[in-house]
Amino acid sequence: MWRMSTSTNGNSDKTASLTYAESGVDTAEGARAVDAIRASVRATYRPEVIGDIGGFGGLFSAAALKGMDNPVLVSGADGVGTKIEIARAMDIYDTLGIDLVAMCVNDVLVTGAEPLFFLDYIATEKIDSKRMVQLVAGVAEGCKQAGCALIGGEMAEHPGTMIPGSFDMSGFCVAVADRPNMVDGSTIAAGDVIFGLPSSGLHSNGFSLVRRVLEDRSLSLDGDFLEYADLELFEEECEALEAERHKADSLEASGQTLGQMLLIPTRIYVKLILDLLQSGIPIKGMAHITGGGITENLDRILPETLDAVIDIDTWLIPPIIRYICGQARLGIRESFRTFNCGIGFTLVVSKADAPALRKALDQRAEEYYEIGHITEGTGTVRYSGIDE
């Protein structure tokens, strides 16, 4: 299912003939956009997909669910937020779709659910088939990374109701989990270990603050990032960074503009986490670190009588995040409740099972950090060395 819908407003001469195109809607351009995305969409199809794009509804067989003891559908919806404005300014659109898928599938993943299919909605002031192809290609790439099928969507043209050149996008994911195997954090106990998986950068949160920083500091998106960046953001509060880590930062950012660093797409953790669960690793709880940072996401899976204690010296905050926080003059606590600060996904396991998780991640050549532990408390996130 891919359609183009439209919305118009304004007065008209009742005696004159007025075509749809004259009201601001280009159905031909919409049709070109739909035709151009066919290959990208089909590349995401799983065996369960029924039919092809162009229908009134996306079809997906649920036959495989019969093999589960108690199948539970898990759904999620999200958007990309004002990161879109950075993409518009850079005229780069092929990564936003990855962000869109990531924000949805990483959320449903925390239950241990497997994403099955995805739908998107893109509203724009005027259809631009070239831009639309880039946006949907990004969505398709995100779906491939997550192993889910892109089975439908909507391109909505809203002339006269949106700022010229503007657009917005949202996504909708449906996943499935077998209820006896769902991960809900209910068994988390004092002494459990918290593992963190690195983010790829800012992901898709905090961009209203990012844009304010760019405006207030008169920063150019085309400027070389290394010429801008003060990579010693947390030196006073977290001790000076080791020389080798500082060197690694420079290599990571080498040749990148500030805009390119901001547009690095959100990491999708689906295949890794499902693989770990299928291998038998007894994960007690998981959290996707989005808006609100570790502070306001990890606490969502904590029992009311327990706290998570995070040691912020166990990993390196990515240079782009350190730079933005420094330009905004954010302190440590505010930084950790605004951005992911380098941790995009967290796992909680018992102390006894921590060696198995370490081994499994090492075998998969995955980077990870042991960032903290669970202790008695009141259901909040604390930071060692800062709150204690």
Matching residue, tokens 């809203």: 158
The closest alpha carbon to 319, from 197, 187, 211, 231, belongs to 231
- Give dist(CA 261, CA 312) in Å, integer: 23
- Give dist(CA 306, CA 166) in Å, integer: 45
Query: Beta strand 2-6 with 149-157: parallel, antiparallel or unpaired?
Result: parallel
> Can you say whether the dihedral through the CA atoms of 183, 188, 192, 195 is positive or negative?
positive
CA atoms within 13 A on the CB side of 250: 10
The CA-based dihedral angle spanning residues 173, 272, 276, 68, taken in that order and rounded to the nearest 10 degrees: 30
Query: Beta strand 193-198 with 369-376: parallel, antiparallel or unpaired?
Result: antiparallel
Query: Beta strand 114-124 with 149-157: parallel, antiparallel or unpaired?
Result: parallel
Burial of 118 (0-12, 13-18, 19+ CB in 10 A): buried
Sorted by sequence, the CB contacts under 8 Å of residue 35 that are 6+ apart come out as none
∠ CA 292-283-103, rounded to 5°: 35
Residue 48, classed as helix, strand or coil, is coil
How far is it between the farthest Cα atoms of the chain? Answer: 80
pLDDT tens for 208-261 read 999 999 999 999 999 888 776 654 444 444 444 444 444 445 445 557 899 999
Residue 164, classed as helix, strand or coil, is coil
Cross-strand partners of 150: 118
Token pair for residue 29?
A: 């351009």
- Give dist(CA 6, CA 298) in Å, integer: 41
**List of the chain residues with pLDDT < 70:** 1-36, 54, 228-254, 387-388
Token pair for residue 257?
A: 């503009």
> Can you say whether the dihedral through the CA atoms of 88, 94, 95, 98 is positive or negative?
positive
The pLDDT value given to residue 4: 53
What DSSP assignment string belongs to 77-137? EEE-TTHHHHHHHHT--TTHHHHHHHHHHHHHHTTTPEEEEEEEEEEESS--HHHHHHHHH
Q: Edge-to-edge strand order for the sheet containing 343-349?
A: 285-288, 343-349, 193-198, 369-376, 306-310, 381-383
The pLDDT value given to residue 182: 97
Burial of 63 (0-12, 13-18, 19+ CB in 10 A): exposed
The domains of the chain, with CATH numbers, are 2-181 (3.30.1330.10), 193-383 (3.90.650.10)
Burial 224-262 (b: 16+ CB within 10 A, else e): ebbebbebebbeeebeebeeeeeeebeeebeebbbbbbb
Question: Residue 126, Cα to own-chain centre: how many angstroms?
Answer: 26
Q: How many CB atoms lie within 10 A of CB 10?
A: 9
What DSSP assignment string belongs to 272-337? HHHHHHHTT----EEEE--TTTTTTTGGGGS-TTEEEEE-GGGSPPPHHHHHHHHHHT--HHHHHT
Distances (CA, A) of 347 to 20, 54, 148: 53, 40, 22
Distances (CA, A) of 122 to 128, 135, 224: 12, 9, 31
The pLDDT value given to residue 10: 47
